[in-house]
Amino acid sequence: MVDLLNGVVTNVGGVGDELISSVERGLCVLVGISRDDTPKDVEYIVRKILNLRVFDDEQGKRWTKSVMDKNYEVLCISQFTLYSVLKGNKPDFHCSMGGDESKRFYENFITEMKKAYKSDFIKDGQFGAYMQVSIQNDGPVTITLESPVQAPKPDRRGGARSREKVEKTGGNTNEGTGDPSGNQLTQNSGQAQNM
């Protein structure tokens, strides 16, 4: 699983003119589900989301409090495009879990979030809907979380990553790029491209 966390002041998700969910203060989590994710990935991501220290304490000390410590809300939005792969200039989504299976997986993720925290503090969008999401990023704070490799998984280019290579490089299969996130730097532009 790949999740993109945003510390937010106000966050609204809607379909057309209908408001689906909103939070005043907390996290907006864009949830990407890989075709190879398992319940272990859900367990890891839920724990990380709820315990990640991205908020200030009462004295203003940075990076000391979690969403649970602050009694803030979490808005989760399913986001299959987080597992996109560029083929030329067109995104391809073959690394994302398929529709029906990912819907069940996402619903289980939301259930586990609600079990681990206050149920009414976990909000979500409408799965599979074309949504308009307004994010007022606070900080701005944006953190990418990826569940650890449980078994060999496809890399972003669609090939198999061997567990040995992942362990050897600490998860970075783009050796020598200088980018610990695993993004490959293009030689011409110097910008990171998600591979």
Active centre residues (catalytic): 81
Determine the Cα–Cα distance for residues 64 and 42; give it in Å rounded to an integer. 24
Q: How far apart are CA 47 and CA 148, in angstroms?
A: 13
Strand positions, DSSP E, the chain: 2-15, 18-23, 26-32, 73-78, 85-87, 90-92, 122-124, 132-146, 184-185, 192-193
The single-letter code of the amino acid at 175 is E
Altogether, the residues listed in the chain come to a count of 195
Residues 6+ apart with CB under 8 A from 33: 1, 78, 80, 83, 96, 97, 102, 105, 106, 109
β-pair partners for 192: 185
- The type of residue at 84 is S
